[in-house]
């Protein structure tokens, strides 16, 4: 079959890690007799520089016409004070594609236990997925700025909570029937609504799933104290953003965590990390989060064998010690070398 993939490299290390998309998909296409047609489009700061907007119409329509979209990362200090912000492009893209469910698996590689600052006995058995609501909440609410105060509205509708809750419950049924819903229901009205709706969906539609509610502050603590207790974590947009960066510390690096953002129609696949301006241009960014996001894309496109081949190749490269600096401070493995290590393992599979 032939698949059209829109690739949005973005800013900072984005274009460096995005070079993996064509390399990996060409290798997979060759190995599994599939065709992937990869097209590149601007978003974020790069699009602001070229067209004065963070999400050009051409990019949006290419994403809508593609079978799936890969986005690397946007943003950077160059645009921190510009009137149009790169982040607006990403938020608009997620909203336009209506990809309300952001799924972030925490894949632990036992061979990387020493890359995490946590003790290996704490990490043992850790394997969870964060399901983050992606198109609602405070990031999308009305904003106002005045000379002496500013506001950000946080709003969730019953329908928005119902649909993300169903995604998380479904995932829980495919794993261990254990779901932790994270909120701040002791303070926030949106969280009280969240808790009521999630409880109702659980009771009515997924009685086999054990549901626990947890406050976001204690969840942040438990994530590093006893991470193996979690299985599927369901939470709202901002809490999910923060908790998944925290969770990346368990895996050893931001450069390892992939994500898929899906709705009823489109799929957007991105590493969880940002544009890492501190290392941009040096060719040392870890490409594995991007490559694992491509695997998530292929699984969503119903190509499980192809997805698995990528995951095995990444694990094999890690086994062989092909680690960028974020995982081994004395390493001089480059982004391109890590990509080629995965490609050669796919070719040999
Ligand atoms: P960041 O994720 O870019 O970087 C945090 C730290 O992790 C940095 O030290 C960085 O060097 C390291 N890191 C991240 N990805 C890495 C990789 N693949 N390999 C090796 N090291 C890696 O977060 P930040 O510094 O808070 O934000 C930088 C910019 O990225 C900001 O403009 C922010 O708005 C933007 N951002 C974009 C996204 C996105 O595109 N989805 C997400 C988060 C932040």
265-289 residue pLDDT tens: 999 999 999 999 999 999 999 999 9
Which pLDDT belongs to residue 115? 84
Q: How confident is the model at residue 252 (pLDDT cuts 50, 70, 90)?
A: confident
Q: Does residue 217 have an active-site annotation?
A: yes
One-letter-per-residue 3-state SS of the chain: CEEEEEEEEECCCHHHHHHHHHHHHHHHHHHHCCEEEEEECCCCHHHHHHHCCCCCHHHHHHHHHCCEEEEEECCCHHHCCCCCCHHHHHHHHHHHCCCCEEEEEECCCHHHHHHCCCCHHHHCCCCEEEEEECCCHHHCCCEEECCCCEEECCCCCHHHHHHHHHHHHHHHHHCCCEEEEEECCCCCHHHHHHHHHHHHHHHHHCCCCEEEEEEHHHHHHHHHHCHHHCCEEEECHHHHHHHHHHHHHHHCCHHHCEEEEECCCCEEEEECCCCCCCCCCCCCCCCHHHHHHHHHHHHHCCCHHHHHHHHHHHHHHHHCCCCCCCCCCCCCCCHHHHHHHHHHHHHCC
Q: Tens of pLDDT along 307-316? A: 999 999 999 9
Ligand 1 pocket test: which of 247, 252, 254, 279 has the largest number of ligand atoms within 8 Å of its C-beta?
Answer: 254
Mean of pLDDT over the chain: 96
Q: Among candidates 103, 106, 326, which has minimal Cα distance to 223?
A: 106
- pLDDT mean over 127-145: 96
Given 11, 183, 231, 241, which residue is catalytic?
A: 241
Q: Where in the chain is the domain with CATH 3.40.718.10?
A: 1-100+254-349, 117-251
Q: Whose CA is nearest to atom 23 of ligand 1?
A: 274
Q: Is 277 in the pocket of ligand 1 (CB under 6 A)?
A: yes
User: Which residues face 2 on adjacent strands?
Assistant: 35
> Does 177 score more than 90 pLDDT?
yes
> Does 35 score more than 90 pLDDT?
yes
Q: Is 274 in the pocket of ligand 1 (CB under 6 A)?
A: yes
> Does 30 score more than 90 pLDDT?
yes
Given 143, 217, 305, 319, which residue is catalytic?
A: 217
Q: Is 326 in the pocket of ligand 1 (CB under 6 A)?
A: yes
Which atom of ligand 1 is the closest one to the Cα of 72? Answer: 40
Q: Is 73 in the pocket of ligand 1 (CB under 6 A)?
A: yes
* CA atoms of 78 and 233, how far apart (whole Å): 35
Does the domain spanning 117-251 belong to CATH 1.10.10.10? no
Q: How confident is the model at residue 110 (pLDDT cuts 50, 70, 90)?
A: confident
Percentage of the chain surpassing pLDDT 90? 93
Considering Cα of 306, then 309, then 313, then 314, what sign does the dihedral take? Answer: positive
266, two tokens: 């489109």
Ligand 1 centroid, distance to 241 Cα (angstroms):
12
The sheet with strand 128-133 has its strands ordered as: 35-40, 2-10, 68-73, 267-271, 258-262, 101-106, 128-133, 232-235, 178-183, 210-215
Q: Is 323 in the pocket of ligand 1 (CB under 6 A)?
A: no
Taking the CB of residue 332, how many other CB atoms lie within 10 A of it? 9
Ligand 1 centroid, distance to 282 Cα (angstroms):
14
Q: Is 245 in the pocket of ligand 1 (CB under 6 A)?
A: no
Which pLDDT belongs to residue 335? 98
- pLDDT mean over 86-103: 96
* CA atoms of 196 and 218, how far apart (whole Å): 19
Q: Is 244 in the pocket of ligand 1 (CB under 6 A)?
A: no
Ligand 1 centroid, distance to 280 Cα (angstroms):
10
Which atom of ligand 1 is the closest one to the Cα of 286? Answer: 19
Q: How confident is the model at residue 138 (pLDDT cuts 50, 70, 90)?
A: very high
Q: Whose CA is nearest to atom 22 of ligand 1?
A: 255
Q: Does residue 11 have an active-site annotation?
A: no
Q: How far is CA 146 from CA 149, 151, 265, in A?
A: 5, 9, 39
Ligand 1 centroid, distance to 245 Cα (angstroms):
10
Q: How far is CA 150 from CA 14, 141, 187, in A?
A: 31, 13, 20
Q: How confident is the model at residue 114 (pLDDT cuts 50, 70, 90)?
A: confident
Name the superfamily (CATH) of residues 1-100+254-349: Isopropylmalate Dehydrogenase (3.40.718.10)
Which atom of ligand 1 is the closest one to the Cα of 285? Answer: 19
Taking the CB of residue 344, how many other CB atoms lie within 10 A of it? 14
- pLDDT mean over 248-277: 94
Q: Is 278 in the pocket of ligand 1 (CB under 6 A)?
A: yes
What torsion, rounded to 10 degrees, do the Cα atoms 54, 92, 62, 299 define?
120
Which atom of ligand 1 is the closest one to the Cα of 288? Answer: 18
Q: Is 87 in the pocket of ligand 1 (CB under 6 A)?
A: yes
Q: Is 275 in the pocket of ligand 1 (CB under 6 A)?
A: yes
Query: C-alpha angle with apex 327: 325 to 328, nearest 5 degrees?
Result: 60
- pLDDT mean over 75-85: 94
Maximum separation of any 2 CA atoms in the chain, in Å: 62
Which pLDDT belongs to residue 104? 95
Which atom of ligand 1 is the closest one to the Cα of 44? Answer: 40
> Does 107 score more than 90 pLDDT?
no
Which pLDDT belongs to residue 9? 98
């Amino acid at each position: 079959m032939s698949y059209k993939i829109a690739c949005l490299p973005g800013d900072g290390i984005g274009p460096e890690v995005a070079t993996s998309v064509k390399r990996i998909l060409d290798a997979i296409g060759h190995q599994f007799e599939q065709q992937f047609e990869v097209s590149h489009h601007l978003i974020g700061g790069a699009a602001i520089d070229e067209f004065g907007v963070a999400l050009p119409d051409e990019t949006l329509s290419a994403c809508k016409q593609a079978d799936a979209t890969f986005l690397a990362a946007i943003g950077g200090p160059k645009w921190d004070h510009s009137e149009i912000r790169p982040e607006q492009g990403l938020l608009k893209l997620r909203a336009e594609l209506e990809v309300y469910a952001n799924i972030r698996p925490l894949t632990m590689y036992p061979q990387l236990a020493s890359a995490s600052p946590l003790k290996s006995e704490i990490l043992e058995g850790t394997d969870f997925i964060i399901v983050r609501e992606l198109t609602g909440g405070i990031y999308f609410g009305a904003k106002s700025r005045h000379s002496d105060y500013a506001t950000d509205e946080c709003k969730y509708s019953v329908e928005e909570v119902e649909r993300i809750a169903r995604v998380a419950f479904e995932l829980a049924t495919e794993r261990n029937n254990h779901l932790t819903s994270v909120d701040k229901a002791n303070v926030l009205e949106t969280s009280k609504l969240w808790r009521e709706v999630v409880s109702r969906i659980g009771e009515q539609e997924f009685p086999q799933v054990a549901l626990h509610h947890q406050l976001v502050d204690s969840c942040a603590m438990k994530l590093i104290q006893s991470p193996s207790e979690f299985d599927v974590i369901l939470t709202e947009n901002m809490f999910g953003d923060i908790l998944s960066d925290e969770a990346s510390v368990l895996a050893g690096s931001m450069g390892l965590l992939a994500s898929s953002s899906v709705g009823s129609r489109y799929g957007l696949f991105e590493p969880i990390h940002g544009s890492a301006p501190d290392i941009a241009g040096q060719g040392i960014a870890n490409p594995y989060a991007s490559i694992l996001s491509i695997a998530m894309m292929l699984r969503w496109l119903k190509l499980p064998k192809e997805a698995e081949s990528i995951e095995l190749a990444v694990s094999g490269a890690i086994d062989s010690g092909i680690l960028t600096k974020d995982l081994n401070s004395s390493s001089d493995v480059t982004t391109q070398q890590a990509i080629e290590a995965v490609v050669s393992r796919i070719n040999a599979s």
